[in-house]
């Protein structure tokens, strides 16, 4: 779950003019789509002139709403006056950032200013590291039994559950997802947190476990050895979370990191991370010792400082592959550990023995979940040739009926339905202006290259959405896409589906495995044996084999997951996800037994 923004070209004077007017996002569209360096194939100057002409001719048609204020937004802003949403959390206290700078964030549905959060910098990160080092050196937290730590962290999980309504309104306003979805996923974060806490006693039971066999010949240590395994905390660690599911992604790192005995610094995404700031209050209220857990909001400068610090022994990151590779490079300089949950370009493989209605519903959920802003989004449809035409016909009809969610904060009845029965029934905005431009850049490039647009392909008109200024993209289906096209190979992170067809099982596997990513994929067939054969050949960390689409994108806290290739390093969830935050060591006792050592230790 993630992601960051690609390279950009900055035209300073023009940018200042555009920002000063802040017109409707519906007319920015392709006018600013040259944000991405890698798709410009002609003169920058001629492209700029053409797009600016388009922008200037359209801006006069826009009805500006600079003086309006969305009523629901005002309610959310009353939540955000709390100290935890306006300060950093360092050493057990809420403190102002050293330089006092702010980062503005906007309501994706209207473009209105939502909040300004502290822009923590390298000096603030250093202050948090000092606090964490002091707590680590003091040793009380690491010295507790994991089950004791888990009891404290459980209070934090309960705090999420007790504040779901407030947090769901904040995430709806921050990310642009319907309140219904936000509340549902936050409930999942609380439940997952409680699962992590149940593993505290499991981790305790793994301490001093005898090494009975390593497998193979000579796999048992000599009889005179008394060898055991232990799992120790790593030390001071950095947690850098994503904006698409802010609380879920952050707490998926915070809970196991703390239960394992580490001291941690959380750096939420600056794009949408307001709910993550509440974790500082949860930690304070739960009684987490000062310095054991810290929160520093900020942009790339803060994240880079955290990753590069020699005092930070591990970075756990969810986000783009590009940023993940930079973090890995920074950590390589000091040989510190990384756990990276990165991008995806998941394939939905549909065989012709699949029920057509189920195939259409699954396709929609696969690429529209959270507005297509989820790392496991199934944004590549690999469909058997014999069912391609009827499936695409039905898909086009259903997509063009979908309404847009023009006020996510109050949207309590409709959603993407990914973890519910029924079809996706509303389209949310994308998270921010920069992501909006990035997605439109992909679409412009695809159309310029001759890719056929079945439906969508741009921004909806203002009358269709019902308000202006929002970051909306039409659900888009691109057909007969070349395998080397960017929209097939790269993570667009928006409501864009690319389609290719196949004839044989081998062809299906080839298409599914035709990108550098390997986070998730799904095989749909009414033939269980065929579904299993194909699923087992797909190179991805999580594969769904189904006849109905049920369970698509489903996660359970006990089931570990992660990525192949460009999709990451390490595993999340399950006992393996907890082990990521520990160091495995062996202790060899000789001359006396471990039982004797334990008697003296406890006595």
Report the Cα 516 to chain-centroid distance in Å.
19
DSSP-assigned letters across all residues of 204-218:
HHTTTEE----SSTT
Which alpha helices (DSSP H) does 454-537 contain, by range? 462-465, 486-489, 505-512, 528-537
The rounded distance, in Å, linking the Cα atoms of 458 and 476 is 8
Annotation says 341 is catalytic = yes
Structure tokens at 315: 């970075």
Of 191, 171, 187, nearest to 273 by C-alpha is 171
Closest by CA to 270, choosing from 233, 224, 323, 321, is 323
Length of the chain: 603
Q: At 400, list the tokens.
A: 């063009």
- Among 263, 276, 331, 375, the one annotated catalytic: 375
Q: Which residues contact 167 (CB under 8 A, 6 or more apart)?
A: 160, 182, 186, 247, 275, 278
Judged by DSSP in three states, 478 sits in strand
Cα separation of 578 and 283, whole Å? Answer: 19
Q: What gap in Å lies between CA 284 and CA 294, rounded to an integer?
A: 10
Q: How far apart are the first and last CA of the chain?
A: 48
CA-nearest of 191, 171, 163 to 275 is 171
Cβ atoms of residues 306 and 315 within 8 Å: yes
* Rounded Cα gap, residues 550 and 490, in angstroms: 26
- 464-477 burial, b at 16+ Cβ within 10 Å, e below that, comes to ebebbbbbbbbbbb
Q: Which two tokens stand for residue 132?
A: 């964490």
Question: Do the beta carbons of residue 154 and residue 161 sit within 8 Å?
Answer: no
Coil, strand, or helix at residue 226?
A: strand
- Are 236 and 312 contacting, i.e. CB atoms less than 8 angstroms apart? yes
- For 22: left if phi > 0, alpha if psi spans -120 to 50, otherwise beta; the answer is left
SS3 283: helix
Q: For 428, which DSSP code? A: P
Q: Which among 208, 174, 173, 602 is positioned nearest to 409, based on CA atoms?
A: 173
Residue written as token pair 């309960």: 158
Q: Which of 341, 398, 462, 572 is catalytic?
A: 341
Which tokens go with 46? 């001629």
Task: List, by residue number, the catalytic residues.
Answer: 341, 375
């Amino acid at each position: 779950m993630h992601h960051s923004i690609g390279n950009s070209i900055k035209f300073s004077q023009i940018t200042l003019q555009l920002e000063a007017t802040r017109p409707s996002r519906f007319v920015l569209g392709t006018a600013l789509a040259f944000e991405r360096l890698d798709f410009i194939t002609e003169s920058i100057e001629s492209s700029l002139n053409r797009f600016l002409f388009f922008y200037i001719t359209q801006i006069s048609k826009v009805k500006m709403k600079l003086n309006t204020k969305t009523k629901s937004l005002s309610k959310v802003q009353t939540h955000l006056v709390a100290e935890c949403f306006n300060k950093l959390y360092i050493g057990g206290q809420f403190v102002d950032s050293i330089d006092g700078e702010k980062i503005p964030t906007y309501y994706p549905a209207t473009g209105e200013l939502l909040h300004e959060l502290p822009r923590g910098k390298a000096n603030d990160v250093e202050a948090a590291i000092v606090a964490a080092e002091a707590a680590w050196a003091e040793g009380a937290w690491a010295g507790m039994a994991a089950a004791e730590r888990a009891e404290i962290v459980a209070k934090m999980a309960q705090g999420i559950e007790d504040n779901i309504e407030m947090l769901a309104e904040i995430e709806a306003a921050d990310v642009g997802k319907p309140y219904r979805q936000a509340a549902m996923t936050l409930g999942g974060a609380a439940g997952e947190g409680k699962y992590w806490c149940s593993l505290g006693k499991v981790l305790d039971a793994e301490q001093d476990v005898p090494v009975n066999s390593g497998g193979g010949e000579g796999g048992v240590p000599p009889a005179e050895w008394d060898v055991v395994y232990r799992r120790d905390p790593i030390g001071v660690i950095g947690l850098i979370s994503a904006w698409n599911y802010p609380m879920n992604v952050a707490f998926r790192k915070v809970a196991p990191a703390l239960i394992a005995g580490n001291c941690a610094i959380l750096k939420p995404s600056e794009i949408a991370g307001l709910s993550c700031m509440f974790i500082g209050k949860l930690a304070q209220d739960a009684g987490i010792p000062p310095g054991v857990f810290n929160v520093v909001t900020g942009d790339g400068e803060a994240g880079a400082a955290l990753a590069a610090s020699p005092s930070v022994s591990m970075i756990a990151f969810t986000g783009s592959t590009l940023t993940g590779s930079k973090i890995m490079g920074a950590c390589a300089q000091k040989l510190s550990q990384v756990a990276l949950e990165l991008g995806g370009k998941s394939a939905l493989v549909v065989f012709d023995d699949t029920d057509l209605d189920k195939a259409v519903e699954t396709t929609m959920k696969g690429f529209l979940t959270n507005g297509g802003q989820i790392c496991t989004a199934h944004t590549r449809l690999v469909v058997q040739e014999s069912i391609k035409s009827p499936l695409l016909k039905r898909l086009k009809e259903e997509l063009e009926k979908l309404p847009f969610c023009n006020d996510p904060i109050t949207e309590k009845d409709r959603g993407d339905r990914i973890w519910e029965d029924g079809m996706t029934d509303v389209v949310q905005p994308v998270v921010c202006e920069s992501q909006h431009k990035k997605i439109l850049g992909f679409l412009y490039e695809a159309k310029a290259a001759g890719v056929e647009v079945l439906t969508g392909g741009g921004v909806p008109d203002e009358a269709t959405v019902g308000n202006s200024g929002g970051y909306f993209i039409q659900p888009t289906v691109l057909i007969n896409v070349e395998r080397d096209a960017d929209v097939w190979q790269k993570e667009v992170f928006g409501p864009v589906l690319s389609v290719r067809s196949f004839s044989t099982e081998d062809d299906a596997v080839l298409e599914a495995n035709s990108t550098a990513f390997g986070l998730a994929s799904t095989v749909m067939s009414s033939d269980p044996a065929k579904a299993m054969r194909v699923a087992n050949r797909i190179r991805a960390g999580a594969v769904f084999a189904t006849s109905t689409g049920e369970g698509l994108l489903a996660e359970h806290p006990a089931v570990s997951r992660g990525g192949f290739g460009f999709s990451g390093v390490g595993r999340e969830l399950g006992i393996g996800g907890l082990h990521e935050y520990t160091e495995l060591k062996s202790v060899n006792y000789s001359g006396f037994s471990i039982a004797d050592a334990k008697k003296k230790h406890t006595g």
